[in-house]
Amino acid sequence: MQKSLRRPVTLKDVAAAAGVSYQTVSRAINGFGEINAETSQRVLKIAAELGYRPNRLANSLRSAKSKALGLVVSDIENLFFAEVAAGVEAEATERGYSVLLANTSEDIHRERTAILNLFESRVDGLIVAPAEGEHDFLKTDLPETFPVVAINRSLSSPLYGAVLSENREGAGAAVEYLVTRGHTKIGAVVGSPNLMTSQERLDGFRSAMERLGLPIERHWTAAGTIYPKGACEAAIEILKRSDRPTAIITSSQRITQGVLMALRHLGLRHGVDVELVGFDDFPWAALLDPPVTVIAQDTHNIGRKAVAMLLGMITGTGEAAEIRLPTRLVVPS
């Protein structure tokens, strides 16, 4: 015969074990100061020994807060977003919040559905990695005061916060590094030209090339898609030329993968025929021969700072702002 599951420990159970009233236990659990410290500590110790866990749903119904945050990422298979999500979850947990995750696969229609579903699930605020496309629906489908923080790409409204990377500076650092390696013929492959990250990283590339007096050849730069296949096709058009560049900067880990595929397709060798520097650190970069130099973003901290900003907006102790985190050049040893 199957054993019945043990019922959850209640506040009344803790009160009976501690020999105090239900109200005293409630005050101790919720951190209210109407009881003395010694009694509070004793109640909390007994609650822990009994395995008491707060009923978050009941608490949220009383406080009108769910203590849950929504996280909408545009491509969960992209290691960048997985690492950002880890930072979001870590910070939220430390602050007593849970996280509900949705993935849009870079589809603006799926993004709208995910955001509405999370809003209807009563999350207290949203962290969103915007997909390509217009986001006017945020103004019409959500209350004006509903807290939203964007990551990786910004949303065109001062109502929403954003935690981003120093994209232009990172691309400039990549150009400067390649010049120290003796390269003067440098190209660039970025993702969709409509994405803020592609635009800023390409701007940073061009600015650094101009500052260093290097030629910017139109046929050495390309914007493909955000996925490796599109990047591969774009890179082939650059690399099959007889006057191809000797180095290429890529705008993401997915784009780097596509350019490596193009090199292999054309029988060229990374680090010998063409050298790469790519945005985003990734585990297999160091496993290549030679390894790939990368512009690393502070992914974990992006997630943590997004949560910190969002909670400030939720509690009224902070406001929407744009934060830019520095990137760093990682040269494999």
The per-residue pLDDT for 204 is: 98
The per-residue pLDDT for 142 is: 87
Q: Exposed, middle or buried, 287 (CB in 10 Å: 0-12/13-18/19+)? A: exposed
Which residue has 């494999």 as its token pair?
Answer: 332
The per-residue pLDDT for 31 is: 66
Residue 298 has pLDDT above 70, yes or no: yes
CATH 3.40.50.2300 domain position(s) in the chain: 66-165+299-325, 167-296
CB 257 within 8 A of CB 294: no
pLDDT single digits (tens) 86-112: 999 999 999 999 999 999 999 999 999
The per-residue pLDDT for 27 is: 76
Q: Report the C-alpha gap between 277 and 307 in whole angstroms.
A: 30
pTM: 0.80
The CATH homologous superfamily to which domain 66-165+299-325 belongs is Response regulator (3.40.50.2300)
Measured distance between the N- and C-terminal CA atoms of the chain, rounded to whole angstroms: 62
pLDDT single digits (tens) 319-329: 999 999 999 99
The CATH number, out of the four listed (3.30.565.10, 1.10.10.60, 2.30.30.100, 1.10.260.40), of the domain defined by the range 11-54: 1.10.260.40
Which of 42-46, 181-185, 265-269 shows the lowest mean pLDDT across its residues? 42-46
The per-residue pLDDT for 107 is: 94
Parallel/antiparallel/unpaired status of strands 186-190 and 247-250: parallel
Quote the tokens at residue 287: 């496993």
Quote the tokens at residue 177: 């590094």
* Nearest in space to 77 (alpha carbons), one of 252, 236, 331: 252
State in words which class domain 167-296 has: alpha beta
Q: What is the DSSP string of 81-150?
A: HHHHHHHHHHHHHHTT-EEEEEE-TT-HHHHHHHHHHHHHTT-SEEEE-PPSS--THHHHHS-TT--EEE
The per-residue pLDDT for 33 is: 61
pLDDT single digits (tens) 133-171: 999 989 888 888 899 999 999 998 889 999 999 999 999
The per-residue pLDDT for 236 is: 97
Neighbours of 36 (CB within 10 A): 9
Q: Report the C-alpha gap between 35 and 313 in whole angstroms.
A: 31
